[in-house]
Amino acid sequence: MKWLCQYLNIKRENTMAIGDSHNDISMIENVGFGCAVAGACEDLKKKSQYVYEKDYTEGAVKEVIEKFLL
């Protein structure tokens, strides 16, 4: 995420990421607003600013778009 923000000239605080597993922790730590789906590992949920009520298969991405982007 750090590299992508630098490459695209986007401020970190203007980014958002959604994750569910341990491999997503560093991504969540390097965005402005980190989100975890309902079934995410507890470590990721603790690092996230928002934890969804749903999982990916239940519309978590739709939920974030409606809640934070529209």
The per-residue DSSP string of 3-70 comes to HHHHHHT--GGG-EEEE-SGGGHHHHHTSSEEEE-TTS-HHHHHH-SEE-SS-GGGTHHHHHIIIII-
What is the chain's pLDDT, residue by residue, as a tens digit (70 residues)? Answer: 889 999 999 999 999 999 999 999 999 999 999 999 999 999 999 999 999 887 878 877 888 888 887 7
The whole-model pTM stands at 0.81
Domain extent at residue 35: 2-69
CATH number for the domain spanning 16: value is: 3.40.50.1000
Number of domains composing the chain: 1
Check residue 56 and give its pLDDT. 75
